[in-house]
Amino acid sequence: MKLTSLLTLTMKINRKILWLGISMQKDSVKAFDKKFLSRQILDQAIIYLNNYEHHFDNLVNYGPLNEHNKIRYPTIGEIFQNQKELKNRIKELNPLIIIALGSLVTKSLAKIFNLNINFPKTYQYQFYKSEYFIIPVHHPSYIGVYKRKNLKDYIENIHKSILTIP
pLDDT attached to residue 29: 40
How high is the pLDDT of residue 159?
93
Classify residue 95: in a domain, yes or no: yes
CB 15 within 8 A of CB 53: yes
pLDDT computed for residue 155 by the predictor: 95
Task: Tell me if 53 is assigned to some domain.
Answer: yes
d(CA 166, CA 151): 26
Task: For residue 22, tell me if it sits in a domain.
Answer: no
This prediction's pTM:
0.84
Handedness of CA 74, 77, 83, 86 (dihedral sign): negative
Task: Measure the CA–CA gap between 54 and 41, rounded to whole angstroms.
Answer: 14
Candidates 17, 19, 18; CA nearest to 102 is: 19
* Residue 6 maps to a domain: no
18 occurs within a structural domain: no
- State the alpha helices, DSSP H only, in 48-102: 76-93
**Spatial CB neighbours of 31, under 8 Å, sequence gap ≥ 6:** 24, 56
Phi and psi angles of residue 130, each rounded to the nearest 5 degrees, phi first: -135, -130
Q: What's the pLDDT score for residue 58?
A: 87
Evaluate whether residue 14 is within a structural domain. no
Count of residues making up the chain:
166
- Count structural domains, the chain: 1
- pLDDT of the chain along its 166 residues, tens only? 444 444 444 445 778 999 999 876 544 444 466 667 888 899 899 988 988 999 988 888 777 778 887 777 788 888 888 889 999 999 999 999 999 999 999 999 998 889 999 899 899 999 999 899 999 999 999 999 999 999 999 999 999 999 999 8
Q: Is residue 1, in this structure, part of any structural domain at all? A: no
Domain that holds residue 152: 30-163
5 occurs within a structural domain: no
Q: What is the CATH number of the domain that holds 81?
A: 3.40.470.10
